[in-house]
Amino acid sequence: GQQVMQIPQYQHVQEGEDFTTYCNSSTTLSNIQWYKQRPGGHPVFLIQLVKSGEVKKQKRLTFQFGEAKKNSSLHITATQTTDVGTYFCAGPAAGGTSYGKLTFGQGTILTVHP
Amino acid sequence: DVKVTQSSRYLVKRTGEKVFLECVQDMDHENMFWYRQDPGLGLRLIYFSYDVKMKEKGDIPEGYSVSREKKERFSLILESASTNQTSMYLCASSLSVDGGSPLHFGNGTRLTVT
């Protein structure tokens, strides 16, 4: 079945440093979604990328979707303590009917030291 | 704003008990999902439903069943709880069946089976 791998599993940074998490799918994705889960909270949708090679920015966050639509990355510039949490990528398999079902990566846990 | 409500935040049950986890969404979404979240494993899909009375197995359906009698309500049932079902359970809903809609999660139910 479809697998979505995410690295690294953990990342500790000093406040002000940059952070990147990478997501790789075993199958081509019709789209990729990114979610953030704060400690003690639930995953919250951040963004969706649809087009091959697409790049989107949200303030200090930059999201990329690979040319082959099998990988993606999230980059945070100059991390802040408010960025702490777990970042998940997720995607449905391309083709067929997924019924909205998403496969999630294992997540990257980001801690930021002030 | 979409609201997904899970009936319990914390639940403690004994091995062998029948357990019901309830989830209600208020946005007339077609799809509803049950995921479990365990450290290092990310979110794994248990069951999902794309219409009333319709259900599909996810990646880890063993030991679980579901019920969707009304569009807004999706129940997860543990027929005979076991200690390996101790986990965080997350309910989610999404608007459409094409995999292009973001998931809206409830706050989660942390289930402990003793």
User: How many C-beta atoms lie closer than 10 Å to residue B77's C-beta?
Assistant: 14
DSSP string across A69-99: SSEEEEEESS--GGG-EEEEEEEPBSSS--T
On the question of pLDDT at B28 being above 70, the answer is: yes
Amino acid A100: pLDDT: 66
The predicted-structure confidence for A24-57, as pLDDT tens digits, reads as follows 999 999 899 999 999 999 999 999 999 999 999 9
Q: What's the pLDDT band for B95 if we cut at 50, 70, 90?
A: confident
Strand partners, B82: none
The predicted-structure confidence for A53-112, as pLDDT tens digits, reads as follows 999 999 999 999 999 999 999 999 999 999 999 999 999 866 655 566 788 999 999 999
Strand partners, B78: B19, B64
Distance CA B56, CA B47 (A): 6
DSSP structure class, residue B111 = E
Q: Any CB–CB contact under 8 A between A66 and chain B? A: no
Amino acid A96: pLDDT: 57
B107 contacts in chain A (CB < 8 Å): 41-42
Interface size, chain A vs chain B, as Cβ–Cβ contacts under 8 Å: 77
Nearest-CA distance B22 → chain A (Å): 16
Rounded to 10 degrees, what is the CA torsion of A57, A24, B42, A99? 80
Amino acid at B58: G
Amino acid B100: pLDDT: 76
